[in-house]
Amino acid sequence: MDALFLPLANAVGASVDQIKLISCLLVAYPLASLFVRIPSSQPALRHLFSIFVAVLFFFPVLQIYSAFFQLLGSILATYFVAKYDKSSRMPWVVFVIVMGHLTVNHVIRAVYGFSYETMEVTGPQMVLTMKLTTFAWNVYDGRRKEEELDKWQLSKRITQYPSLLEFLGYSFYFPGILVGPYLDYPEYMELINETMFQHAHVKATLKEGRRLPPGRKRAAYTKMFMGLVYLGAFVLLGPKYNFSIALKPGFTKMPLWKRIALFQLGGPIERAKYYAIWTLTEGASVLTGLGFTDFGVHGKPNWDGAANVKVWTIEFPSNFKVLLDAWNMKTNVWLRECVYKRVTPKGKKPGNLSSMITFFTSAFWHGIASGYYLTFLMGGFITAAARQARANFRPLLVPPTTTNSPPPPPTLIKRLYDISSITLSAMILNYSASPFIILSGRNSITTWKALGWYGHIIIMGSLVFFYAGGTAFFRGLQKKRGVLPPPRGGAKKPAENGNGSASGSGTPVSEKNFVLPPSVDRFVPSQ
């Protein structure tokens, strides 16, 4: 089938594998429209449909036959280990099997020097690793006492073990098999059985003869349109605006301020390829019925539950924690629920050891390129500095308010603080994420050097300042003005609903999410 894709690949200057991948994501839209027409009373047909489409993607289109059978091997191993091993070590056995398999393939890819434009097993395997390890923990939670579980675990626990067909359908869910979105097994079965649409208040909004709430197609095709816009921006502007500009001979001859300013232009374009892939696959998932999160303001249906990225929040972040929460959101959930919480001893709060294990897990999950580790290491210092800055500066700029009183209008200083936070967060993101794109450790160091090490100067300088007496100074100032926050851990946490969200909020609660590294899927078209 390469002959079908080669002319387009030559026309846009991309590899055949890149064009194949985009084609699969686009073909998933009409296939999703067929999927949703299969009655929910025939769940076996829905499972078989997903499996058939996945086989179609891997065999005649992508032609990565061994990849399919490797994924199938991990799926079957997980299924039987989770079914027959009733011990508390079962989730870790599954974790070692699937994560070890992924790491071996990362090493093979590095040894043979496969280009990141080449579509092979590690991309889909990264998504599958999240799904299989989450499944193992959900099964384990289903065997525990309810009082031992937190609300996320309680809502996701599996008490009835699935049939092999159900599990294969879940593992090969076709809109997300190549690049995500990752979803857990309870979500998948709700999609298959359409149980989320059976609530009385949802059924009351449905017109006669309709099974799904309105707005699904509009949301899906809007995502498709935006995904193509992001992809077009990357294809058209990527050759000129990218992080590799810092490696060109003439770059260091420019004044430092100009180098830094020019480098910022490459950040949004480099990220556009991720926005494109994640947005395209989100739209196809929505068409199948995934992502409905209830009705919002004025009864408008929300179809944002399959989102993996919030573009506006990333490009204009109010602070670095908000930025991380909006990037690769599904992977952050996986790291939090299946690593960060699970390595913490029972009865204790997560600490630095839990954070380090989470960082290393994320690093191994992504691959073995040294650029990943430079980004993750830098990410640890960034989150520490950002936490200190927010704790020291914000109370002085945002005075406390009572529950019934409206927030006061922002002062000029607060507005300047917000603008500075947005600008600084974006600059730090571009600086710290550049090794993730460049991959080579040597070239990453060269890039940072060409930028005058501005990111390190800002982050390390702020940490030295805060720990050398800056924190004590600002706490004294806060106390003097009567805005000193309560001791850490002393404030009551907001109540959570069954989805792990704070009551009255539509965003997931990120329990100490600031410790998580900026998880970046990299199995997408690159230059």
Q: Annotated catalytic sites, by residue?
A: 366
Residues β-bridged to residue 336: none
CB atoms within 10 A of CB 488: 7
CA distance 5 to 348: 54
Q: What is the DSSP string of 106-159?
A: HHHHHHHT--TTS--THHHHHHHHHHHHHHHHHHHHHTS-GGGS-HHHHHH---
C-alpha–C-alpha distance, residues 386 and 393, integer Å: 10
Neighbours of 482 (CB within 10 A): 9
Phi first, then psi, for residue 502 (nearest 5°) are -65, 140
Q: Residue 446 is encoded by which pair of tokens?
A: 């060269």
Q: How far apart are CA 484 and CA 476, in angstroms?
A: 8
Q: Is 369 left (phi over 0), alpha (psi -120 to 50) or beta?
A: beta
Residue 228 φ/ψ region, left for φ over 0, alpha for ψ in the -120 to 50 degree band, beta for the rest: alpha
The number of beta carbons lying within 10 Å of the beta carbon of residue 476 is: 11
CB 26 within 8 A of CB 280: yes
Could you tell me if 88 and 143 are in contact, meaning their C-beta atoms sit under 8 angstroms apart?
A: no
Contact between residue 159 and residue 142 where contact means Cβ atoms under 8 Å apart: yes
Helix (H, G, I), strand (E, B) or coil at 496: strand
How far apart, in whole angstroms, are the C-alpha atoms of residue 525 and residue 275?
A: 11
By residue count, the chain amounts to: 527
Query: CA-to-CA distance for 266 and 501, rounded, in angstroms?
Result: 34
325 contact partners, CB below 8 Å, separation of at least 6? 313, 332, 507, 508, 510, 513
Can you read off the two tokens belonging to residue 331? 């992977």
Output Rg (C-alpha) for the chain, integer angstroms: 24
Instruction: Supply 349's token pair.
Output: 């709060």
CA–CA separation, 359 and 365 (whole Å): 10
